[in-house]
Amino acid sequence: MEIWERMEFLRKELEKHNKLYYENDAPVISDFEYDALLRELEDLEAKYPIYATPDSPTKHVGGRVNEKFSKVTHEVPMKSLGDIFSKEEVLEFLQRVRQSVDTEELSFVVERKIDGLSVSVEYENGNLVRASTRGDGLVGEDITENARTIKNLPKRIDPSIPYLEVRGEVYMPFEVFLRVNEQAELSGEKLFANPRNAAAGSLRQLNAKITAERELSIFVFNIQAIRGKSFQSHAESLRFLSDLGFEASPGFIECKTDEQIWEAIEEIGESRGSLSYGIDGAVIKVNEIELREKLGETAKIPRWAIAYKYPPEQKETRLLDVEVTVGRTGKLTPVAILEPVHLAGTTVSKATLNNADFIRDKDVRIGDMVIVRKAGEIIPEIVSVNVEKRPSDAKPFQMPDRCPACGEPVFRSEGEAALRCLNEQCPAQTYRAMMHFASKDAMNIDGVGPSLINLLLSADLIHDVADLYTLGEKKDALMVLDRMGESSANNLLAAIEDSKSRPLSRLIAALGIRNVGVVAARTLAKSFGSMDSLMNATVLELAALPDFGMITAQSVADFFAKESNRELISKLAEYGVNMVEETSSSLGDPWAGKVFVLTGTLSRYTRSEATEIILSLGGTASSSVSKNTSYVLAGEAAGSKLTKAQNLGVTILTEEQFEQMVKEAKGQ
């Protein structure tokens, strides 16, 4: 590849990743990988300036303003920092600074580089009046109402200060991040990749109530502007901010010599595992304000500060064993059992091994010393094996040829990496099938969760999902279960009874048919109208449905071809579970012929709730954008579907516009 082609490729890649990171809060590469691309482009532009472009991503901050928020023009530009990755580069930076100022009165402050979303907060006469995101550094987004929900951000400060603008980093603590993702998983919603994305997505919600529920925090690290007061040093300004009630760059270290600065960087790096929040580097800043002004700034970065970036945190630990779990559809998943190791703020004792091919390709053996990486991701993973430390008795792992839960043979379908247990009576599958059946997007049975299902199975009160509807006859046995008194038993039985009237689409989704999610279940219910009609549909009839293909059609046909599944449905019908989709509506079908596509994270509905509204009004919910799409309902972090819709000229709806359309369709 020619030099100029490589540079153009790098520019396009970096702009793509800038959009994913700053605008969609959905990066697909690590910061370390992004920094490597940026560094390569910077080096090439320095070596071949004739091929450099004025709009290069090396010359501007990555974000752009989301049109859903009001724009804020920053009086003081919110610039980025240059990145360095080695001790040699740290020393080069310090040498450049010393040569530029040529004075003995020079000191530095080293701070933790919090991995969050950069914001500006403004106060007038002691009152918080505005908060905004960095955006492109010159124009950001007004997120004032959302910022007011951050508990450790002062809403009032000393009223004798006429004006103060501070810059800080909004972040989500690890503990909150785990809780938010657990709740998202239970609700069937998309999980956040890491705490930084969770913080950014939460702060840029259109509904401040959702932001408040996310329990964000902020560290303030700079005074952008102030009236009525001045400072000699950065450290003095940080102490002043602390006195005002801000959490101001906790753990900052004042230094003079190169050795002290490097020791501070190492000290911060060593503390990463003990912090309750994520950091991805250390920032080195000139302490003296007057000398900062002398050093000046470029269009993108200040010359008086730089960020040392730590590589993604990896730890070596021993692989003690491999466990195999069985999912709802019978899929077998190997999980590494590790000697516990502290990594990226949490103790890691398990890591995914994906499948047999992954284990073979990495040559992972029980007893090996393995390198584990988390880097803020949800599930820890094994990166590699330290073969040099492999013990002589390390044992290669083979996936079982029988299900670890029921002992029946397992099978691997052609073209699939996964092994599956096909035993419909497998206890592991029964447990997960019941969890799915009672979940929010399925039959939504309040109170039926993991611990209760385990209790019911252990007490031999249920054997399949239909048995949930027989618990009313077993109330006495139910009441003797742990933490299940008469009141709890009555509430549970009422919730189970209430679920009988759920729409047919909910029941279809609850059955756990492979390749059939909430949207496909609604399509099936609307198209066939009753469970009887659906069970007798042919593969060709199924394949002809919108957004269906032969794979999904075959999955549905195979499910209903099994006598055991037909017997289960017969039992559910006998116990009074609804088997018919309501087709008559006093509203008619005002959205008949309208095709909607949902993208991004919605703040006012779950995706399933929005889809249910669309279908109830006669519309169609599709998973992909095409020229036949009528509307795209776009939430936060909308990605490629939104871009495609814009290119095709499809109408884009905000949630407010969608709600107005719903009201009009209902004649409200």
Q: Report the run of H or E that residue 131 belongs to, with start and end.
A: strand 127-133
Q: Kindly give the residue spans of alpha helices, DSSP state H, lying in 221-355.
A: 234-244, 258-271, 289-295
At 654, list the tokens.
């905000």
Following DSSP, what letter does each residue of 475-495 receive, concatenated?
HHHHHTSTT--HHHHHHHHHH
Sign of CA dihedral 607, 610, 615, 618: negative
Four-CA torsion 41, 47, 49, 53, nearest 10 degrees = 0
Residue 249: is it exposed, middle or buried by C-beta count within 10 angstroms (0-12/13-18/19+)? buried
Strands 71-73 and 139-141: antiparallel
Angle between helices 31-47 and 3-18 (to 10 degrees): 140
| Residue 84 host element (H or E) | strand 83-84
Q: What SS3 class is residue 213?
A: helix
For residues 248 and 238, the answer to whether their CB atoms sit within 8 Å is: yes
Q: How far apart are CA 106 and CA 293, in angstroms?
A: 13
Give residues with Cβ within 8 angstroms of 70, minimum separation 6. 141, 142
Tokens representing 192 are 């956040």
Neighbours of 243 (CB within 10 A): 11
| SS3 call for 313 | coil
Strand order across the beta sheet in which 620-622 lies:
620-622, 595-599, 631-634, 651-653
Helix, strand, or coil (residue 667): coil
Q: Which of 424, 517, 422 is nearest to 464 (CA)?
A: 424
Q: Give the Cα separation of 373 and 602 in Å (integer).
A: 31
Give dist(CA 214, CA 211) in Å, integer. Answer: 5
- The catalytic residue among 79, 113, 285, 331 is 113
Tokens 């490597």 correspond to 36
The candidate with the shortest Cα–Cα distance to 35, out of 8, 64, 66, 62, is 62
Distance CA 322, CA 299 (A): 53
Look up residue 346 and give its two tokens. 């949490």
Backbone angles phi, psi at 647, to 5 degrees: -65, -35
Q: Which stretches does DSSP call E strand in 144-237?
A: 163-171, 217-227
Q: Which helix (H) or strand (E) holds 199?
A: helix 195-203
Of the candidates 10, 69, 61, which has an alpha carbon nearest to the alpha carbon of residue 40?
Answer: 10
Instruction: Give me the sign of the Cα torsion angle 207, 208, 214, 220.
Output: positive
What residue type is assigned to position 405 of the chain? A
87 is catalytic: no
Q: 656: part of which helix (H) or strand (E)?
A: helix 655-665
The catalytic site residues sit at: 113
